[in-house]
Amino acid sequence: MPDIKCKVLVIGAGPGGYVCAIRAGQLGLDTVIVEAERPGGTCLNVGCIPSKALIHAAHEFHKLGVFAGRGAIGITATSPAIDFGATQKWMAGIVKRLNTGVAGLLKRAGVRLVAGTARFLDGKTVVVDTVDGEQRIRAETIVIATGSAPVELPSLPFGGAVISSTEALTLDRIPARLAVVGAGYIGLEIGTAYAKLGAEVTIVEAEDRILPQYDEALTAPVRKRLVKLGIAIRTAAKARSFKDGRLELEGAEAVEAEKVMVAVGRRPRTRRVGLEELDLTMEREFITIDDRCRTSMRGVYAIGDVTGEPMLAHRAMAQGEMVAEIIAGKNRAWDKVAVPSVCFTDPEIVTVGLSPAEAMSRQIETSVDQFPFQANGRAMTTEREDGFVRVVARADDSVLLGIQGVGEGISELSAVFALALEMGARLEDVAATIHAHPTRGEAFQEAALKALGHAIHI
Ligand code: FAD
Ligand code: NAD
């Protein structure tokens, strides 16, 4: 096979890599992208998209169950049932549509997609194992976007009944009993979905509370809901081993389970990429980057999960877009005020910018206030009044430093929260903006008004 020569070579077609390649192509750079599996990466194939589809299906099914039981708001349903095979087919259909979409976008931008696993030979050359043999590619600039993979616990290796999120998203039937190790993003999102689908779910968390990365005020409504859904929570407990359907724990009683999903974090995919051929500065297994995503080697960039926290698709995409522009000669650097994070639990959690504790640890004097959904008309009309929106503003000039919230459907407010921070909005700007009624967004305006000392609806 003749060698390929190009200006930009991107390794990995996840959200980081494919966005980088599309933007590079749009900018007229001769670009090649290599992907070992399917375009779209973790997010689109075994992450964000299928998990949110599963969460949606589970939510809809659970709702019918509520109506069947109590006839809430005057609606009754009889004997709701789920054909999980059909649900899986529907989920796979969405993923396939997006795979095809990403491949089409790459093509339209003039990017060549090479299918196979890439390994570095040196800082300018990789060799790709393709179905037709080895393909060498030489590039002026290389972008590493190889993403991440689930962390495996030595005491609970993946295989058989012990699964990662990847297998949990493609189960052929709903397990009667599911144990989830790790009450982080994945454990709670997927664990809640299976509980709504009828599985008996137990969540095991090493720390003394669920979602330890968030403050307790934000996680309390989620915990309450987990309990309401019948999910057992074992905190300050570590999984020790799994044998004969029993998950032995350190710090708590053993759990009977048909399947055990281990979701204790993700590690960068830097093994078997030939990184030893390069002279890259690493922090543990993550690739160290600067504010332009440059690695310690000239002409080699790294983006996305492989560069560490926060391991989120939209951060990877933003880095990918920026790097393509830098390679094209534009003057760009990472100047984002905040990366929003959304946890798609029930209710959902959104955080953007600084929490009250983070602001305090930086010795910033703040004005913090929150508005509960209990006083929001829209929340009442949807029967979900749990949660609140909280604002954190600088005390002296009321510039917003952080916005957090928990509530049903609050993920959709993450955009307006992030926009407010990026635009340097003050409490007065939010308070003076007309928010349509009745919407959950009004809780943002009311939180700002409350911080200014004159909330209307509370
Ligand atoms: P990846 O998406 O991991 O893509 C890397 C790609 O590189 C892969 O396709 C891989 O096959 C390829 N590759 C690796 N090595 C090679 C090689 N040597 N040669 C060729 N190709 C290679 N994030 C959110 O923001 N929102 C969510 O709701 C969300 N939900 C998630 C749910 C789950 C269950 C999981 C597991 C993750 C979720 N994430 C979510 C995280 C999100 O998926 C990642 O942050 C995102 O995919 C990172 O993008 P990336 O481009 O860095 O890497
Ligand atoms: P996580 O870091 O969110 O949570 C892991 C949890 O496992 C932590 O609470 C940790 O204390 C616990 N833990 C660690 N070792 C343990 C042990 N031995 N026994 C019991 N508990 C243990 O990790 P995750 O849920 O695997 O998700 C990985 C990453 O994927 C996230 O950090 C996030 O970046 C990304 N993700 C994002 C979303 C989203 O944006 N909605 C959804 C899913 C995943």
Name the CATH topology of 162-264.
Answer: FAD/NAD(P)-binding domain (3.50.50)
For the Cβ of 310 lying below 6 angstroms from any atom of ligand 2, the answer is: yes
Closest atom of ligand 1 to 186 CA is 34
Choose which residue among 10, 43, 142, 167 to substitute to test ligand 1 binding: the one with the highest number of ligand atoms within 8 A of its C-beta.
Answer: 43
For the Cβ of 304 lying below 6 angstroms from any atom of ligand 2, the answer is: no
- Which residues on adjacent β-strands are paired with residue 136? 127
Residue 1 confidence (pLDDT) = 87
**312-324 average pLDDT score:** 98
Of all helices (H) and strands (E), which one includes residue 416?
A: helix 414-422
Residue 272 confidence (pLDDT) = 85
- Is the predicted pLDDT of residue 251 greater than 90, yes or no? no
Q: Whose CA is nearest to atom 7 of ligand 1?
A: 12
CA of 31 to the centre of ligand 2 (A): 34
CA of 212 to the centre of ligand 2 (A): 10
Lowest mean per-residue pLDDT among 58-72, 88-102, 218-232, 440-454: 58-72
Note the pLDDT tens digit of each residue in 41-81: 999 999 999 999 999 999 999 999 888 876 678 888 888 99
Residue with tokens 């001769």, as numbered in its chain: 30
Per-residue pLDDT band for 449 (boundaries 50, 70, 90) equals very high
Question: What DSSP state is assigned to residue 435?
Answer: P
Cα–Cα distance for residue pair 376/450, rounded to 1 Å: 14
For the chain, give every domain's residue range: 4-46+89-150+267-327, 162-264, 341-451
Ligand nearest to the CA of 249: 2
> Which of these, 12, 88, 86, 14, lies nearest to 45 by C-alpha position?
14
Instruction: Exactly one of 435, 437, 454, 457 is catalytic; name it.
Output: 437
Q: What is the DSSP string of 147-173?
A: -EEEPPBTTB-SBTTEE-HHHHTT-SS
Q: Whose CA is nearest to atom 24 of ligand 2?
A: 265
Q: Is the CATH number 3.30.390.30 carried by domain 341-451?
A: yes
**392-404 average pLDDT score:** 98
Percent of the chain topping pLDDT 70 = 100
Lowest mean per-residue pLDDT among 69-78, 178-187, 295-304: 69-78
- Which residues on adjacent β-strands are paired with residue 241? 248
Residue 186 confidence (pLDDT) = 98
Per-residue HEC secondary structure of 83-121 comes to CHHHHHHHHHHHHHHHHHHHHHHHHHCCCEEEECEEEEE
Closest atom of ligand 1 to 344 CA is 28
Cα–Cα distance for residue pair 5/145, rounded to 1 Å: 19
Cα–Cα distance for residue pair 228/183, rounded to 1 Å: 17
Q: Cα 329 vs. chain centroid, distance in angstroms?
A: 31
**91-119 average pLDDT score:** 98
Whole-angstrom CA distances from 435 to 35, 187, 240, 386, 456 are 44, 35, 51, 20, 13
Percent of the chain topping pLDDT 90 = 95
* Shared fold status for 4-46+89-150+267-327 and 162-264: yes
Residue 73 confidence (pLDDT) = 86
Cα–Cα distance for residue pair 78/72, rounded to 1 Å: 13
Cα 15–Cα 16–Cα 19 angle in degrees, nearest 5: 75
Is 59 among the catalytic positions? no
- Is the predicted pLDDT of residue 318 greater than 70, yes or no? yes
- Is the predicted pLDDT of residue 277 greater than 90, yes or no? no
Lowest mean per-residue pLDDT among 61-75, 83-97, 238-252, 397-411: 61-75
CA of 43 to the centre of ligand 1 (A): 5
Contact between 218 and 404 under an 8 Å Cβ cutoff? The reply is yes
Cα–Cα distance for residue pair 297/63, rounded to 1 Å: 53
Residue 310, preceding bond cis, omega within 30 degrees? yes
Residue 76 confidence (pLDDT) = 87
For the Cβ of 62 lying below 6 angstroms from any atom of ligand 2, the answer is: no
Q: Whose CA is nearest to atom 34 of ligand 2?
A: 311
For the Cβ of 48 lying below 6 angstroms from any atom of ligand 1, the answer is: yes
Per-residue pLDDT band for 156 (boundaries 50, 70, 90) equals very high
Residue 39, preceding bond cis, omega within 30 degrees? no
Phi and psi at 71, nearest 5°, equal 60, 40
Which token pair is 280? 């890259």
Question: What DSSP state is assigned to residue 374?
Answer: G
Residue with tokens 């999980």, as numbered in its chain: 84
Residue 67 confidence (pLDDT) = 85
Residue 71 confidence (pLDDT) = 67
Length, in residues, of the chain: 458
Note the pLDDT tens digit of each residue in 191-201: 999 999 999 99
Give the class (CATH, top level) of 4-46+89-150+267-327.
Answer: alpha beta
Residue 63 confidence (pLDDT) = 92
Mean pLDDT of the chain: 97
> Which of these, 134, 165, 115, lies nearest to 13 by C-alpha position?
115
**249-274 average pLDDT score:** 95
